[in-house]
Structure 1
């Protein structure tokens, strides 16, 4: 089999190896086969399978850490959901076999999530993975094909990849990921970037590749070559080696070629991510997600527990900046210790982020107090920001709460289009902005980030998205406030130059992306970045925007970008 396939490159680099096509087809258990008559034993068998899956996912998450770990922990919570267990038990009492009860029990949740769309709709794939793992336990079979046992790195090909299948892999095992589904912000993309493994998603026809076919996947262009020539492979490997050498040659703080400082920061999901951030030269933390402290608990974490977790990160960057996002719960991240919200036809547009904290101010007050105490014990510069802020009123409320807690710097996330459109008003209340491009794109284009058919709308090169970033940066600059970017877009070394040209004061990303961004900025002046940004915004499509920007960034060729 030879030829080429075209997908969307989401993690740069070139990977070559034999195709390992992962099959995850799980037939539904028969509906007309009842259990053997002992409903209690059958119920226990089903619940034990769910608990085994939950424990396995939790253990994998703890070993993986980082982005993959966070996703796996969320899946473990799905398997342990009390409502799911009650539904499965009810179905067994009605005569269903354990496997069929699990299948139908998940089906009820699946329908609700799919209808909700947005954040909850994006969790359907995660739910299916948990269901399939439970069925595999009940039926005594593996949930997916085992990876090759040989020493040669392979290209992992699948319709989509479950986090549990990929989070514990390493670049020594897998040369690249290629999937038919997914988008730039899918779990496959996030985990691939965190691992530093090339990846191509939304690639039609990928699973038709014959197992063992030599595959060369380009995670920048999205081109997948089948049975490439030796010359093509040598050229790709040579380019990859040259790229690694060029990136390693640039060290120190982030800055443009003419000395304009651009702090390069890391996105982290907890203290376990610090080693990776420090290894890749992060100057601080631009997004500290604090949800890991709150999810999956019957009671809220104590102020003392929170303070210890915050202090550990602050102490890792003495004198540097650490930006902490307050609890971003609601939608796909419900909290067991808070009463559920009222009926929400679309939870992604409901009570989440700052809206949830307004309903439960005691949660925010405890978190802000713990952050203030941690800051008083550290030399790091702590900045605290609120998620999902849509209005100046919400920004003012959060800033007042931070001042009351004794915090010196209160900012807001720009991830709702209204916040970008009225950025000047929000800047009058907040001390800084941080643009979350993933959510900003999802809400601006009304496009679920997990739907492969809509992946093009999540391309961070969309000119309309660049316009919104420019509006936010201009609104901040008008009040002499810094505006950083902490979405996945900041980790694209070419787009990073454009973001600086749009006015981004700092960039925060997954740690493995830092060297390429540092090198790209070091080869271009601030004026070149501005020209690239202007050209990208004038384009009519993401592809045209990317090409127009590259024309003003000649130093990219020397980096293999």
Structure 2
């Protein structure tokens, strides 16, 4: 038996046969065809038609959002403009492989330049081009495989475009050789509740059909599980299934200390799933869904209808709504369309809203009207608050509209370091660990080359969380966590030990975090947090916390 180590996502376990994800095809060399233009054109037409038909078939089988993505891919594959681009290259005497590769690359650049919806479709071209070329070359298509039975997917990593092809009833677990706890694969796994281990470099040795056990809680893949090991996994899965079937209890530590577990939601229709999974309320409702696909700001009536639908779903429960967080990776032409060299440090969040205060006032009006018409406990918060003055501005404005509970997102070191003064004005703070990590580590969260720095386990980030937690305790103000870090079961314990009073996450992560908290007392959480703080880096902090969590209390 060999244990292949990586970073586990969640606390789940799975066992099954390996299916490897094929490597992307290398770029073909530009060469002249020996078969002739007509023969190459016929090959190309047949390959494109076959790929489009396969995508349509998969779309019909997938349903939901994946169906829309795959149907759009099928339409792109047979786009007449793209066909003309391929024909142009074929007429020059190139091979079908080169013509497809080069035409798709050029078409991709064109769509990216157009931007908007078409720009978002540009990434889909890579997958289509790979599929067409694979058909031409007579090799398996790269991308997520579909063996027709449940399997453990082993890959270098998953691109965001691959996620539409994942069948959650078939993928027992994910194992990647690359990536880390904040990679797209890790984020996907947490959001969907998939057992996963990322960054397991030795998993490159796993073979198709090989039975493995993927233990996310242990951060290990067993590549030669014994019958006894497989039986133990089956028993553990049965216990988890029974726990999941039972009505979820409120979040709490082992000594009874309550830790409300809330949901991060992106639209009102997500409420039912969150409630079914035991969400005690909403810790982060992102209002961007109303704005990002619009050419102009939605009306007060449109916003009020959406907020009312959300609040009605959580009657009697806390719902924290974040004001529009635009800018950086979410630019809006009607809010801030000026080019910025470094938009992550530019006019975003509350800064952008103050520059267009009419949009902020309309949003507060809609929220106040929805609040008056429903019985949920509405809290509102401003994104990207940096200064005490910004805090005072927003909380005063919220109260002007009759909103009783107004707080701020702590996402930059400045507001974390002055948390006691910020909380003198705000009713609560909610720590966005994704951005707090980005700004603490000076590592753009959208830039793959520095992804290794984007880890909320880093002791520098944890120290800032402690600053806010201690300020909350001194001022009697709640401090929530609504970033990706709250979905990590062990890190959730650390965050509570640092002073967090509630945790908000993707609904699929609620069960694992609930189990993890229930294993430790408040004193344990503080001890585990202290161990993490004393490390020098993120990996060391994670390892120290794991050791402390499994060690008996002194």
**TM-score, normalised with respect to structure 1:** 0.79
Match of 1:100 in 2: 102
Query: Which structure 2 residues correspond to residues 70-85 of structure 1 after superposition, within 5 A?
Result: none
Matched, 1:63 2:64: yes
Match of 2:531 in 1: 535
Deviation of 1:279 after TM superposition, in Å, equals 1.0
Match of 2:22 in 1: 23
* C-alpha contact (below 8 Å) 1:7/1:204 kept by paired residues: yes
Choose which of 515, 520, 542 in structure 2 pairs with 1:524. Answer: 520
Query: Which structure 2 residues correspond to residues 280-359 of structure 1 after superposition, within 5 A?
Result: 280-338=277-335, 340-342=337-339, 344-359=340-355
Unmatched 5+ residue regions in structure 1? 37-50, 114-124
Q: Report the secondary structure of 2:201's partner residue.
A: coil
Unmatched 5+ residue regions in structure 2? 38-51, 93-98
Deviation of 1:457 after TM superposition, in Å, equals 3.6
Q: Report the secondary structure of 1:184's partner residue.
A: coil
C-alpha distance in 2, partners of 1:59/1:404?
51
C-alpha distance in 2, partners of 1:193/1:244?
18
C-alpha distance in 1, partners of 2:218/2:5?
8
* C-alpha contact (below 8 Å) 2:100/2:133 kept by paired residues: no
Choose which of 190, 205, 219 in structure 2 pairs with 1:222. Answer: 219
Deviation of 1:89 after TM superposition, in Å, equals 11
* C-alpha contact (below 8 Å) 2:409/2:431 kept by paired residues: yes
* C-alpha contact (below 8 Å) 1:60/1:164 kept by paired residues: no
Deviation of 1:108 after TM superposition, in Å, equals 8.3
Q: Report the secondary structure of 1:266's partner residue.
A: strand
Q: Deviations over 1:352-391 (max 9, x none)?
A: 2222222222222221211111111111111111222122
C-alpha distance in 2, partners of 1:179/1:164?
16
Choose which of 255, 259, 263 in structure 2 pairs with 1:262. Answer: 259
Query: Which structure 2 residues correspond to residues 471-550 of structure 1 after superposition, within 5 A?
Result: 471-546=467-542, 548-549=544-545
- After superposition, the Cα gap between the structure-2 partners of 1:9 and 1:525, relative to the gap in structure 1 and judged at 3 Å, is closer
- After superposition, the Cα gap between the structure-2 partners of 1:8 and 1:467, relative to the gap in structure 1 and judged at 3 Å, is same
C-alpha distance in 1, partners of 2:356/2:103?
36
C-alpha distance in 2, partners of 1:341/1:446?
23
Q: Report the secondary structure of 1:540's partner residue.
A: coil
Match of 1:368 in 2: 364
What is the total number of aligned residue pairs between the two structures?
Answer: 520
Q: Report the secondary structure of 1:497's partner residue.
A: helix
* C-alpha contact (below 8 Å) 1:432/1:483 kept by paired residues: yes
Q: Deviations over 1:61-106 (max 9, x none)?
A: 99249xx99xx79xx99x99xxxx9999999999997863541354
Moved more, 409-418 or 207-216: 207-216
Deviation of 1:485 after TM superposition, in Å, equals 0.5
Moved more, 460-469 or 161-170: 161-170
C-alpha distance in 1, partners of 2:18/2:59?
29
C-alpha distance in 2, partners of 1:549/1:196?
23
- After superposition, the Cα gap between the structure-2 partners of 1:294 and 1:27, relative to the gap in structure 1 and judged at 3 Å, is farther
Structure with larger RCO (C-alpha < 8 A, sep 6+): 1
* C-alpha contact (below 8 Å) 2:176/2:203 kept by paired residues: yes
Matched, 1:435 2:436: no
Deviation of 1:482 after TM superposition, in Å, equals 1.0
Match of 1:380 in 2: 376
C-alpha distance in 1, partners of 2:294/2:518?
45
Q: Report the secondary structure of 1:394's partner residue.
A: helix
- After superposition, the Cα gap between the structure-2 partners of 1:517 and 1:155, relative to the gap in structure 1 and judged at 3 Å, is same
Deviation of 1:320 after TM superposition, in Å, equals 0.5
C-alpha distance in 1, partners of 2:58/2:418?
42
Match of 1:150 in 2: 148
Match of 2:458 in 1: 462
Matched, 1:135 2:126: no
* C-alpha contact (below 8 Å) 2:277/2:507 kept by paired residues: yes
C-alpha distance in 1, partners of 2:302/2:10?
35
C-alpha distance in 1, partners of 2:28/2:348?
37
Matched, 1:11 2:7: no
**TM-score, normalised with respect to structure 2:** 0.80
Deviation of 1:319 after TM superposition, in Å, equals 1.0
Deviation of 1:506 after TM superposition, in Å, equals 0.8
Query: Which structure 2 residues correspond to residues 187-226 of structure 1 after superposition, within 5 A?
Result: 187-207=184-204, 209-226=206-223
Q: Which has the higher Rg, Structure 1 or Structure 2?
A: 2
* C-alpha contact (below 8 Å) 1:9/1:218 kept by paired residues: yes
Superposed CA RMSD: 4.3
* C-alpha contact (below 8 Å) 2:10/2:489 kept by paired residues: no
C-alpha distance in 2, partners of 1:228/1:252?
34
* C-alpha contact (below 8 Å) 1:167/1:191 kept by paired residues: no
